[in-house]
Amino acid sequence: MNIILVSSRWAGSRSIYLGGRQMALLLLLFLGLMSVAVIGVQFALLRFAPEDLARELNMPVRLNQQAYERNSLDTLAIKLGEMQARIQRLDALGGRLVKLTGMKPSEFQFEQPPAQGGPLVSLGVLSPATLADQLKALTGLVSDRSDKLMALETLLMQNQLKRELLPSSAPIRDIVYTSNFGWRIDPFTGRSAMHEGVDFMAEAGTPFYASAGGVVVFAALHPQYGNMIEIDHGNDIVTRYAHASRLFVKVGQVVRRGDKLGEVGSTGRSTGNHLHFEVRYKGMAQNPVRFLQAG
């Protein structure tokens, strides 16, 4: 680029030649001056402008900050809702565990907040990021405790189920023994013989009940036991109820502890109305009194 300068002071004209490098330097200088001017104007407006104008200029920045804080609060609110739901499930689980363990419900009030107190030691205002980290850690802790409590509930339910399947409840409401477990004089032969159960004296028609839950595996007339019911309780434990006048259950039927099985009679090898009750473990006769005392 050629620049020709003409002046009345000069006898002639002067020319200045600008190459590509000189033009680039001039352009950069111009852009730099423009940037400085713009920054200067913005600073002057923010420093010396009225408060209303300054607020309007800062409005986009404040709006972005408010939007960020609102999104952070929404996220924390969602996390808080999840925590509240988990706590409610833990409260329900705690109530079930109290019932399973037989503790007094008044000793563990899960529906009420725990009592707290102590001197005030302020740590200042927590930032949303710090609060989010603490909620995340607390969520993981609650989840871990929930898994462990559910495992404990499963074990307690299994133990309770085992107890329910043990024949520890008397089959007759009013217990009157007429013959205990062990060796005795047989009433028919007059010789010493093993009595593999206990006899409950009762009038004909007196109802008798399941000593524990299980499955009926025999319910029919037996040449020795008369009308007999045999219940399998699992774990190789079986109970027998003999000499009944009537049977109210069938083979394959599932019964619970306390269900009515039949009525007392004197069928089979019997000298009078009574209920013969046996407990067998792996096919071997056990003393029923030990199970009834444990119950």
Average of per-residue pLDDT across 68-81? 69
**In this predicted model, what pLDDT tens digit does every residue of 219-252 receive, in sequence order?**
999 999 999 999 999 888 999 999 999 999 999 9
Residue 242 has a pLDDT of 97
Residue 52 has a pLDDT of 55
Residue 275 has a pLDDT of 96
pLDDT of residue 285 exceeding 70? yes
CA distances from 147 to 7, 150, 174, 238 (A): 96, 5, 45, 36
Of the ranges 14-23, 126-135, 184-193, 223-232, which is most confident? 223-232
pLDDT of residue 28 exceeding 60? yes
Residue 270 has a pLDDT of 93
**In this predicted model, what pLDDT tens digit does every residue of 101-144 receive, in sequence order?**
666 655 555 556 656 666 766 555 666 677 777 777 777 777 77
Of 170, 79, 192, 64, whose CA–CA distance to 133 is shortest?
Answer: 79
pLDDT of residue 53 exceeding 60? no
Lowest mean pLDDT among 57-61, 262-266, 273-277: 57-61
Residue 113 has a pLDDT of 61
